[in-house]
Chain A
């Protein structure tokens, strides 16, 4: 019987520095790990521990995956000090991921905050594989400062795509910044979409998710059309260890993506 606590070995092939605190790890697992966009994996540093991340790469690529990681804790600090050739472990994927079938023939509003763009990149790459299926994709991305913007090299390429548009903002500009300044909520207006039908997908830090949700509801989006990436300390990934309970759900197995309709009546969802 399969040992559910045993990770698959993966080699770090390459590391891209996205920002001073965020790196993308390009991983080659010894056997393919097939994930659906929005599902997460437990990335393990043997002897140290593991932490949950949603891959940021194209889910149609089966033999490699990329994970974009901010240096914030014990495991991520050690990951940030690792080099190409080093070995990590991967368990998963876990959770339900994005319900991409619900997005077909819809206008999609995608809102990212900071490193929250990482899971959304995987979603975008999934969508880019077959843009005929979707009416239009609009990405709204906010970061703290110009130097905190992830995927700087990719954003200009994405912008050239048909049926896609990008609006970025930073909380605080600097001498080089010519774009918008203000929280991501300040660019969430003047939508030219059918708000009864459009789907909005949000991923970012809890405070950003909270105010983005309120803003989108104010703008007229429907709670059942708002998809939120919820986060707690998912450990086992299988709904057993108990840590990531949110009301009657476990984020690891019932999420991590929930519609606002599913969770709006639960206590303390933004904590």
Chain B
């Protein structure tokens, strides 16, 4: 099957409406300067928009939940039974890139997490190019592009009066075959047009990042490693209130806590997103706590993202989405931490 199709702008709503019949579709909805995902069924046709940059919620929130039951003791339990498969429209590359990390953690390794695996297999991803960026965006500085390269089913690149639609998976191919009435073959001119738009966004974002002046990406792992004993961690952590927002909003953070929950005389195991900035994150029975200061916990976060993941996966545990910068009530800025480490 060919890779590129053309979708008319006026057909987008009908296409999404069709997808919403087979899936629980979530699409971006504008709220102030941000996008939040809302259920397609709740929105009016005129509310269907093309998002310029990434939404507030990371894609991981469709795959693991902040708190969910994973086991009922000594009983068969299938928490992966969900009524309708989920589809998400408007996913940007910072989130797609984080899926490589989430898949590595939950699908690969010794055993796959069955709950994640089922949701991941069922998830339909309709991604789209960034046509702009937020001030906090820095994907290029960690080696990511502001347009999708992998981990999508179909991707929309806007051109005049329509979209170039790229097929990224067999699931996407099936979708296009099923809804072929909306698609025609893309012309080389249309494809070239979408590439020019991509290049323009890359240029604009590069100019913005030049003013931010982050260290080169090839130096990040080395800087974090060599800054292990530096005072930067303490300096940067003075204002941290240990809320965990940076972790929970991060598309790459995956840590969780298994805990037991007893209700109505029935015990269940629950899985809760955990934060490595919480004081008890690394505490063991008996009270020993290797990460017993906030500075050590910040360092641990950076070692995980910029040392562990490059070593184990060949990719940073940061995709440059900038959400943690916006979420932090203490104004701790991942870009500034990386810059401070580079100066030491």
Binding site for B on A (CB under 8 A): 1-7, 9, 44-51, 72-76, 89, 94, 206, 231-233, 235-236, 238-243, 245, 247-248, 253, 267-268, 271
B219 close to A (CB within 8 Å): no
Closest residue of B by beta carbon distance from A253? B110
Contact of A48 among B256, B260, B312 (CB under 8 A): B260
For A48, the chain B residues whose CB sits under 8 A away are 260, 262
**A-B contact sample (18 more), CB < 8 A, given A1-B112, A241-B274, A245-B308:** A1-B117, A4-B111, A4-B112, A6-B269, A9-B74, A44-B260, A46-B73, A48-B262, A76-B285, A231-B284, A233-B283, A235-B257, A235-B258, A241-B257, A242-B276, A245-B300, A248-B308, A253-B110
Which of A46, A73, A235 has the largest count of B CB atoms less than 10 A from its CB?
A46
Q: Is the interface of A mostly helix, strand, loop or mixed?
A: loop
B196 close to A (CB within 8 Å): no
CB distance from A254 to the nearest CB of B (A): 10
For B1, the chain A residues whose CB sits under 8 A away are none
Chain B interface residue number, banded: 35 or more
Closest residue of A by beta carbon distance from B309? A248
For B118, the chain A residues whose CB sits under 8 A away are 1
CB distance from A66 to the nearest CB of B (A): 19
With A232-B282, A240-B109, A253-B109 already in contact, the answer to whether A5 and B255 are too (CB < 8 A) is no
CB distance from B236 to the nearest CB of A (A): 18
CB distance from B144 to the nearest CB of A (A): 22
Q: 10 interchain pairs (CB within 8 A)?
A: A1-B112, A5-B70, A44-B269, A46-B260, A47-B262, A240-B254, A245-B304, A247-B307, A247-B308, A248-B307
CB distance from A30 to the nearest CB of B (A): 9
B49 close to A (CB within 8 Å): no
For A1, the chain B residues whose CB sits under 8 A away are 112, 114, 117-118
For B256, the chain A residues whose CB sits under 8 A away are 236, 240-242
Counted as pairs of residues, one from A and one from B, with CB atoms less than 8 Å apart, the total is 111
* B97-118 interface (Cβ within 8 A of A): 105-106, 109-114, 117-118
Binding site for A on B (CB under 8 A): 70-71, 73-74, 77, 105-106, 109-114, 117-118, 228, 254-262, 267, 269, 271, 274, 276, 281-286, 288, 290, 300, 304, 307-308, 311-312
Whether A242 lies near B286 (C-beta < 8 A) is no
For B262, the chain A residues whose CB sits under 8 A away are 47-48
Contact of A5 among B110, B267, B269 (CB under 8 A): B269
CB distance from B214 to the nearest CB of A (A): 24
With A1-B117, A2-B114, A50-B258 already in contact, the answer to whether A243 and B282 are too (CB < 8 A) is yes
Whether A6 lies near B77 (C-beta < 8 A) is yes
How many angstroms from the CA of A208 to the CA of B106 in the assembled complex?
35
With A3-B71, A231-B284, A242-B255 already in contact, the answer to whether A49 and B260 are too (CB < 8 A) is yes
